[in-house]
Amino acid sequence: MDLASRPFVKMNGLGNEILVIDLRADPVEVSPQAARALARPGVLPFDQAMVLYPPRRAGTAAFVRILNSDGSASAACGNGTRCIAALEAQVTGADHVVFESEAGLLDCRVHADGTVSVDMGAPRFSWRDIPLAHDVGDTTAVMIEGFEPLGPASFVSMGNPHAVFFVPDAGAVDVAGLGAALERHPLFPERANISFASLAGPDEILLHVWERGAGRTRACGTAGCAAAVAGARTGRTGRTVRVRLPGGLLGIDWRPAGQGQGEGQGHDNGHVVMTGPVEHEFSGRITAAMLGEAA
């Protein structure tokens, strides 16, 4: 059985276009070429594909491989994780679902109102963890060569690399032009997600995002988390904020670091918990025509 016969579900999280392919019953590879073919306009355009494989650890629902629309891999996708959690809850009736990913375990809670909370883990700030090409000292606020007029960027890893610029008006920034150039700046050996943020209130951030491997998107969950963390690190906000993206609103709570209270969303463990809605668009089966030459 090849990929051309497999079922898919098209969803979105705040307009972040998500394609879900469940391969747990009979795993096959989804190649970068196949991902790019499916993402073509008029086929199944998506920002990220969440490909589900059999779990590797007891107590988890699936191992998730994440592909961007350009076929590159991503270790984390918050909006996509909310989508697959909602699907799993629909099938099993469980309101608590845990997935595995390259970024670690993804602990999800599905709420009665249809929103989903995802424990995105603890942010990382070391230049090696982000990663950056070299040591830049304190990653809270760093000038990037060639982009000094934007002011300093705050660097965060949420399982994938992020650079967050706080600007007077995020809506007035040339997101596509600056984002495309910054994504591939030599400082980022694995490229980076580029975000432009401004304060809409004491506990609300307005955010526009250029996603690594996907381009400008209506929402990015990990970027929302990174912006909230950057806001708290730079003293602009507290640790609990709303992040408003073109696609809608996310609630972000950066829990304080506790002293061994345990793991999970109910503990003060330094993790970032993201909450937001999901939407089911349509379902179907992948065809050879969709895959084109990648079939």
> What residues act catalytically?
77, 220
Q: Interhelix angle for 221-233 vs 78-92, to 10°? A: 120
Are the CB atoms for 207 and 243 separated by under 8 Å? yes
- Burial (0-12, 13-18, 19+ Cβ within 10 Å), 28: middle
Residue of 175, 171, 172 whose CA lies nearest to 163:
175
Question: Residue 72 has which token pair?
Answer: 């590159």
Our separate counts of H helices and E strands in the chain read 5, 17
Identify each DSSP E strand in 235-295 by its residue range.
240-245, 248-254, 272-276, 279-285
209 forms beta bridges with 195, 217
Q: How far is CA 58 from CA 15, 55, 64, 106, 217, in A?
A: 32, 7, 15, 14, 34
What pairing do the DSSP bridges indicate for beta strands 204-211 and 240-245? parallel
For residues 29 and 27, what is the distance between their CA atoms, to the nearest angstrom? 7
